[in-house]
Amino acid sequence: MSGIDSIEAATESLAAAIADAGRVVALTGAGVSTASGIPSFRGDGGIWEQFDQRDFHYRRFEADPEGFWRDRLDLREAFYGDGETEPNAAHRALADLERDGHLDAVITQNVDGLHRAAGSETVVELHGTNREVECVECGHRLPAEAAFDRAAEGELPPRCEGCGGVLKPAVVLFGESMPDGPTIRAHELAGRSDLFLAIGSSLQVQPAAGLPARAQRSGATLAVVNLEATPVSDRAEYDLRADVTEALPALVEAVG
Ligand SMILES: [Zn+2]
């Protein structure tokens, strides 16, 4: 971004690029959710300082689904507290961009479901969603709320009402292989994009970490919006070091 010496100028320039681009795809990470009160997993004060990761391992779920669900209730309490989490200005900005025809898809590393809650329609959830649970036997899905309510009332583990199979949060657990579908779809979207926005992600975790390079190899312009530098910030055409809840609404306003 040589020659662009302010966030405002970079925002104006990026907004023009978005307005001109044929296909725009956004990738979002934890930085988009923190403003909604979702604690981060890693680092100081992260969830994994309070909870033992091993309790939420896929092997633990298979060996002891009752204990897994009991611990999962505690984890959910720590995550969401008493109230429902709400989408923030960054989620709403991306939903607005899609509605106005300037954004084709959101690929997210987050499992909180807040993009859909904000109104985004084309959302690829790389690591699944905490808003649903699925039966390990028949694959039937239902809202997580119902399963957690039943678990809280003592149904441990909660089971599928159709086939009696154990229900599992519809997220990728530690030690569980990533589902192929979302990863393949994300690579296709990145490869077909003309402009790729990496937002609020430190770009350290695969498969998300590989998507910006995938997009650039296919000729896309790369924009990074993140408070801190990422592994691809140096080779991004736009590198906005900014709070996503401020930068994205400003960007959407500038796109017009
Ligand atoms: Zn079932």
Q: What's the CA-to-centroid distance between 158 and ligand 1, angstroms? A: 11
Q: What's the CA-to-centroid distance between 123 and ligand 1, angstroms? A: 25
The CA distance from 99 to 20, in Å, is 16
The CA distance from 168 to 135, in Å, is 6
Q: What is the pLDDT of residue 43?
A: 64
Banded model confidence at residue 216, pLDDT cuts 50, 70, 90: very high
pLDDT digits (tens, 9 = 90+) for 167-184: 999 999 999 988 899 999
pLDDT digits (tens, 9 = 90+) for 39-53: 766 666 677 788 888
Q: What's the CA-to-centroid distance between 118 and ligand 1, angstroms? A: 30
Amino acid in position 64: D
Q: Are 90 and 199 in contact (CB under 8 A)?
A: yes
Q: What's the CA-to-centroid distance between 132 and ligand 1, angstroms? A: 14
pLDDT digits (tens, 9 = 90+) for 12-69: 999 999 999 999 999 999 999 988 887 766 666 677 788 888 899 999 999 999 999 9
The CA distance from 61 to 176, in Å, is 10
Output the DSSP codes for 211-230.
HHHHHHHTT-EEEEE-SS--
Active site residue ranges: 127
Q: What is the pLDDT of residue 47?
A: 75
